[in-house]
């Protein structure tokens, strides 16, 4: 259930490309352990039959999902990026290039849709949520950084000082409550978690399954 990769000359800048999932820094590893614990707790109790991850990146979340549900097909999309394409090939990961606001899938195609660390990059987050709702028939899990904490942490480690710690590509800044409210404009919010320094929301589509 994936689309064909976009041509190489259509590459789109993807903003921050630091792979925090692979960091060996002990502090970052502890933060990521908390993040993944929150993700595990946010996933639906009823196994999905199909999964879409929007913003699949290097595929760490998809691999975690595959370990949990080894028989479930997982589709992944991201913006065009040469390095990501090479990474997917090296890991035998099935990915495609597409825009979150123009997903190449039919209505109600997936039981579970994830957008992990994505919506902070999107110029039209409400339009993106509507598109996620279109292709989802049951559950969504979404996460974004809590930007004030994120920016302060960047400045503390001497990063992005000219931009007051704002990570390149982060154009939307939400508090925990603010992000839950934004998700709630489209979905029914079931759970909100705060793995430091992120907000993670588990929600469901509002129309009958």
Q: What tens digit of pLDDT does each residue of 134-162 get?
A: 999 999 999 999 876 665 666 666 777 67
The whole-number pLDDT of residue 161 equals 65
The reported pLDDT for the residue numbered 189 is 98
Cα radius of gyration (the chain): 16
Phi, psi of 193 (to 5 degrees): -120, 160
pTM for the predicted model, two decimal places:
0.83
pLDDT confidence of residue 108: 97
Cα(95)–Cα(138) distance, rounded to whole angstroms? 22
**31 φ/ψ angles, rounded to the nearest 5 degrees:** -60, -45
Q: Which two tokens stand for residue 60?
A: 């760490």
CA distance 90 to 174: 35
Would you say residue 199 has pLDDT above 80?
A: yes
DSSP letter string, 23-54: ---HHHHHHHHHHHHHHHHHS-SSPPS-EEEE
The alpha helices in 117-160, defined as continuous H runs, are 125-135, 147-156
pLDDT of amino acid 81: 87
Q: What is the pLDDT of residue 33?
A: 94
Task: Report residue 169's pLDDT band, with 50, 70 and 90 as the boundaries.
Answer: confident
CATH of domain 23-204: 3.40.50.150
- CA distance linking residue 95 with residue 190, whole number of Å: 29
C-alpha distance across the termini of the chain, in Å: 20
State the pLDDT at residue 198: 95
């Amino acid at each position: 259930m994936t689309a064909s990769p976009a041509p190489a000359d259509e590459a789109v800048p993807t903003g921050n490309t630091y792979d925090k999932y692979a960091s060996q820094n002990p502090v970052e590893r502890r933060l990521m352990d908390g993040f993944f614990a929150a993700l595990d707790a946010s996933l639906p109790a009823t196994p999905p039959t199909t999964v879409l991850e929007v913003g699949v990146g290097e595929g760490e979340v998809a691999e975690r999902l595959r370990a949990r549900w080894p028989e479930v097909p997982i589709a992944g999309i991201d913006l065009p990026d040469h390095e990501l394409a090479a990474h997917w090939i090296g890991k035998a990961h099935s990915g495609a290039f597409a825009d979150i606001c123009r997903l190449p899938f039919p209505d109600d195609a997936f039981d579970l849709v994830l957008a992990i660390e994505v919506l902070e990059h999107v110029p039209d987050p409400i339009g993106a949520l509507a598109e996620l709702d279109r292709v989802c028939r049951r559950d969504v899990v979404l996460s974004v950084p809590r930007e004030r904490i994120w920016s302060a942490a960047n400045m503390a480690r001497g990063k992005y000082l000219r931009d007051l710690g704002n990570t390149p590509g982060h154009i939307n800044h939400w508090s925990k409550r603010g992000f839950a409210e934004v998700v709630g404009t489209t979905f029914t919010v079931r759970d909100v978690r705060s793995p430091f320094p992120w907000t993670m929301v588990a929600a469901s589509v509002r129309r009958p399954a």
